[in-house]
Every structure is written in structure tokens, then in C-alpha cells.
């Protein structure tokens, strides 16, 4: 028992070493700025939201195009013709046309994809994939209201994703045809980003988004068409980040996320963790909600885990988000679960075997999951005191989660396989 007590004491010391950190992110008056945030480095960059109109995904064969809905950009598909009707576009009845919005679920489902026919694999919403040339050829005509409030006609001429090319070509003009611009952009220079942004007013690419590997959260404003309303909130960099929300828990203490419940829905954090109290004229935040984020490395071979919960939001006066974050990826943790008096896992990192010590009031299942959520180990354990050696020599190097599950719930600890 002395050995067990020593291990437990060491675990408690490790737990205290990874304390929670209180953070403030400032998006400015009227939430005018987008802030890109890293758990390790804090606010990586801040950029105004009003200096771009559309944004393009730079990856080969990624055909997504955003409209700046968060700053009032309006996008419409011309219902009375196609790209061939460029010279004769007629905007009569524009107020009755359906407006097109970026998805609030999928990072790469921009507003320009709204007309995609799911039954036609070649249809990309704004254009059609040509099997012979591998070029997506534009076939739609759009009307766009810019951040400056001007209405213009716009057509995506083509995206050429072929190796050593990877270009976007589009054109736009005033509705009367004046000031026509024909733009070709080489996308490879922006491949480290999720999107590169473009201003129809200045006719140039806008420096806005940092490299995708450098940030995990974006504090922003976007149009939530499910309400429908403009909201301020947080979206994840789902290229590398997954998240899960858990309610009705103690924010400071709860850390038992479920590996299989992480999602790439990039508005999962979103805006509904806060609400406006009309009586006080202030925002209140959910007091029993936590978020867990799983952050993958650039090659998707390793991941870290962070806990996040909000403590305050100042509103549009200065746009201050206050929250608490905690790194759950390092150290060994003691987790409380009803019916479990002891749950200890060591060494960490481990190479050949793990030592699992438990003291249980009922039998339990033991699972090990890899970073993708795939179960790679399972066994049953009887109630009472157990000291089990688990052979992990056949597992690949990386981060894993060991979960114990009883009739009272489940608890998890992460470990590194060397």
C-alpha cells in the first residue's frame, strides 16, 4: 500500500502542475475584429472583418468559396440565366431572390456551394467538374452586395486544381458592366491557410488568416441562419481541431470527456454559451457547461486535449471574451467516479506495459482508444482492488485514452505510447 500511496501522491502533484489558466480575448468595439487563438500561444493574430468580401480554399480540389456574411455581404444566384448571360443580367426582383449563406457546420461548405446538386457528383454549386481536363468550369452567375454596400455581378470562371497550376479565375463588375475585373490567383502560395481572402473594393488578396497549424479557435461574428440572426461566437479550426460540449457539470472539476463524441462541427462552441439578460443589460454565461477540444498535429499522428469553459462576455462595447482553459494532455490525473475509490495509471509515457490500479464497488469494462476514437483494447475487471498489467507493446506510438466504465458512468485518462 505504501507504493500505491506514493504513486497516488505523485499523480496529485502532477495534477496541480497543470493548473487552469484564465484568458481574455478582445475583439474590439462592436466585435469588429476576428481573433485567431492558440491554446499554447494566446491570440495569434487579429484582423478587421470589414476588409474582405469573398474567400477561396487554396487546397487542390477544394472548391469552397465563402461570402463575408459576418459583415453583411449578401450573395444571390442569378435565377434567370447562367454565366453565359453575363452581359444581359437583369436584377429586377432581387429582393425576392434567396440569399446564400456559409454553412455553420462545415468549414469547407461556403455560400457559393449552396446550389450543389447532391445527386450529381460533378456539380460543385458554382461550376461543373470536367473529367477530361480536371478543371471545375463555372456555370453560374451571381449578384453580390459587398462590404462597401455596392452591388456587383460576379462569376467564378474556373478552378484549375491540376499539379503545378492550382489557380482560381473569377470576374466581377458593376451591374451595368462597368469596371470589369478579371482575376487569376495562384492558390499554392496560400496552401498553409484554410482560406485566402479577397476584397472586391481594392481588387486584391487581403492578409488576414494565419497559417492553419498556428491556431485552434476563431473569435468572430457570423450569420446563424437557424435563428436567423447575426451572432458573435467561437468557431474551431476543424482542419486540425475537434470539440465536444458537456452540460450540467462542475466546470472547475469535470474532465471526463468521451473520445467517441468529438465532432468537427466548427460552430459546436458557437454562440449559445451566453445569453443577454434584458433586466440587467448584461450577458450571462452557462455556468455548468464545458468544452473539450482535441487538437491534432500537422500530420494527424498525435493530438493534445484542452478543456475550456466561459466565465464572462462583455458584449459589443469592447468585445471581451473571458474563459478558462486547461491542458489535459500531460501528467497523470486522479478522476472521481462514483463507485471507484482508486483509478491509477502509470508509467506515462509507457513503452511495453501500463500498470492499472483500481478499487471498485462493481465490475467494470476497460477500454483503450486511439486518437481517432478506434477501440484497440478491451477487457472486463471484477469489483474490488485490482492491479493489472496491460501489454501495449503492439500499439503504435502516439496518444491514447484508457477508459474505465461502470454502471455509474465512465472516466478516462490519457497516456503516451513511446
Q: Are residues 111 and 169 in the same domain?
A: yes
DSSP string, 286-336: -TTEEEEEEEE-TTSS-EEEEEEEEEEE--TTT-EEEEEEEE-SSS-----
Domain enclosing residue 355, as ranges = 335-417
End-to-end CA distance of the chain: 28
Share of the chain above pLDDT 70, in %: 92
In a domain, 242, yes or no: yes
d(CA 391, CA 366): 13
d(CA 121, CA 145): 30
Q: Are residues 64 and 43 in the same domain?
A: no
In a domain, 3, yes or no: no
d(CA 290, CA 197): 32
Q: Are residues 87 and 196 in the same domain?
A: yes
Residue 386's CATH number: 2.60.40.1930
Q: Are residues 115 and 157 in the same domain?
A: yes
Residues 308/23, Cβ–Cβ less than 8 Å: no
pLDDT tens readout for residues 166-221: 999 999 999 999 999 999 999 999 999 999 999 999 999 999 999 999 999 999 99
Q: Are residues 201 and 65 in the same domain?
A: yes
Nearest to 210 by CA among 9, 37, 360: 37
Grid coordinates belonging to 19: 493548473
Q: Are residues 191 and 237 in the same domain?
A: no
Q: What is the mean pLDDT of the chain?
A: 89
pLDDT tens readout for residues 32-78: 999 999 999 999 999 999 999 999 999 988 999 999 999 999 999 99
For residue 305, pLDDT beyond 60: yes
Strands 42-48 and 33-38, by their bridges, are: antiparallel
Q: What is the pLDDT of residue 330?
A: 52
261-277 average pLDDT score: 95
Q: What is the pLDDT of residue 8?
A: 36
For residue 17, pLDDT beyond 70: no
Q: What is the pLDDT of residue 346?
A: 84
Q: Are residues 265 and 396 in the same domain?
A: no
pLDDT tens readout for residues 150-162: 999 999 999 999 9
Containing H/E element for 16?
helix 2-17
In a domain, 6, yes or no: no
How far CA 143 is from CA of 299, 402, 410, in Å, comes to 39, 53, 53
In a domain, 138, yes or no: yes
For residue 403, pLDDT beyond 90: no
In a domain, 5, yes or no: no
Instruction: With cut-offs at 50, 70 and 90, classify the pLDDT of residue 343.
Output: confident
In a domain, 254, yes or no: yes
Q: What's the full length of the chain, in residues? A: 418
Give CB contacts under 8 A, 24+ apart, made by 33-36: 33/319, 34/208, 34/218, 34/219, 34/220, 34/221, 35/218, 35/219, 35/220, 36/209, 36/210, 36/214, 36/215, 36/217, 36/218
Q: Are residues 250 and 276 in the same domain?
A: yes
Q: Are residues 321 and 350 in the same domain?
A: no
Of the three residues 162, 185, 206, the one that is the final residue of a domain is: 206
d(CA 382, CA 364): 7
d(CA 193, CA 83): 29
Q: What is the pLDDT of residue 300?
A: 67
Grid coordinates belonging to 311: 466565465
Q: Are residues 63 and 197 in the same domain?
A: yes
In a domain, 282, yes or no: yes
Give CB contacts under 8 A, 24+ apart, made by 168-174: 168/56, 170/138, 171/86, 172/144, 172/200, 174/150
Of the three residues 298, 327, 356, the one that is the final residue of a domain is: 327
For residue 365, pLDDT beyond 80: yes
Q: Are residues 187 and 237 in the same domain?
A: no
Instruction: With cut-offs at 50, 70 and 90, classify the pLDDT of residue 337.
Output: low
Unique residue bearing C-alpha cell 502532477 = 14
Unique residue bearing C-alpha cell 486522479 = 334
Q: How many domains does the chain have?
A: 3
DSSP string, 357-388: EEEESS-EEEEEE-TTS-EEEEEEE-SEEEEE
In a domain, 1, yes or no: no
Of the three residues 206, 233, 253, the one that is the final residue of a domain is: 206
Amino acid at each position: 500500500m505504501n507504493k500505491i500511496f506514493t504513486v497516488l501522491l505523485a499523480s496529485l502533484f502532477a495534477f496541480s502542475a497543470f493548473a487552469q489558466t484564465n484568458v481574455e480575448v478582445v475583439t474590439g468595439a462592436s466585435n469588429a475584429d476576428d481573433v485567431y487563438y492558440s491554446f499554447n500561444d494566446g491570440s495569434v493574430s487579429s484582423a478587421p472583418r470589414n476588409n474582405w468580401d469573398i474567400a477561396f480554399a487554396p487546397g487542390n480540389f477544394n472548391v469552397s468559396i465563402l461570402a463575408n456574411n459576418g459583415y453583411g455581404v449578401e450573395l444571390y444566384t442569378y435565377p434567370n440565366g447562367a454565366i453565359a448571360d453575363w452581359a444581359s443580367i437583369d436584377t429586377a426582383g432581387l429582393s425576392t431572390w434567396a440569399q446564400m449563406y456559409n454553412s455553420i457546420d462545415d468549414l469547407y461548405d461556403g455560400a457559393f456551394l449552396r446550389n450543389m446538386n447532391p445527386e450529381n457528383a460533378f456539380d460543385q454549386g458554382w461550376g461543373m467538374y470536367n473529367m477530361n481536363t480536371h478543371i471545375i468550369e463555372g456555370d453560374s452567375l451571381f449578384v453580390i452586395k459587398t462590404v462597401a454596400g455596392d452591388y456587383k455581378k460576379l462569376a467564378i470562371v474556373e478552378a484549375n486544381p491540376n499539379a503545378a497550376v492550382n489557380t482560381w479565375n473569377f470576374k466581377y463588375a458593376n451591374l451595368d458592366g462597368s469596371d470589369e475585373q478579371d482575376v487569376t490567383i495562384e492558390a499554392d502560395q496560400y496552401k498553409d491557410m484554410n482560406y485566402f481572402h479577397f476584397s472586391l473594393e481594392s481588387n486584391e488578396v487581403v492578409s488576414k488568416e494565419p497559417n492553419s497549424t498556428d491556431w485552434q479557435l476563431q473569435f468572430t461574428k457570423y450569420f446563424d441562419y437557424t435563428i436567423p440572426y447575426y451572432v458573435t461566437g467561437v468557431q474551431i479550426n476543424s482542419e486540425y481541431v475537434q470539440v465536444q460540449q458537456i452540460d450540467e457539470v462542475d466546470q472547475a472539476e469535470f474532465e471526463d470527456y468521451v473520445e467517441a463524441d468529438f465532432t468537427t462541427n466548427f460552430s459546436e462552441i458557437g454562440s449559445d454559451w451566453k445569453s443577454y439578460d434584458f433586466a440587467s443589460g448584461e450577458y450571462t454565461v452557462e455556468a455548468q457547461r464545458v468544452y473539450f477540444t482535441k487538437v491534432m498535429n500537422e500530420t494527424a499522428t498525435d493530438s493534445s486535449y484542452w478543456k475550456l469553459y466561459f466565465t464572462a462576455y462583455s458584449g459589443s462595447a469592447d468585445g471581451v471574451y473571458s474563459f478558462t482553459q486547461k491542458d489535459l494532455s500531460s501528467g497523470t490525473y486522479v478522476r472521481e467516479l462514483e463507485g471507484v475509490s482508486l483509478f491509477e495509471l502509470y508509467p506515462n509515457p509507457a513503452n511495453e506495459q501500463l500498470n492499472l490500479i483500481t478499487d471498485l464497488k462493481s465490475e467494470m469494462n476497460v477500454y483503450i482508444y486511439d486518437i481517432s476514437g478506434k477501440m484497440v483494447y478491451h477487457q472486463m475487471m471484477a469489483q474490488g482492488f485490482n492491479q493489472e498489467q496491460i501489454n501495449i507493446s503492439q500499439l503504435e506510438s502516439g496518444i491514447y485514452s484508457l477508459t474505465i466504465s461502470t454502471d455509474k458512468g465512465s472516466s478516462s485518462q490519457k497516456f503516451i505510447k513511446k
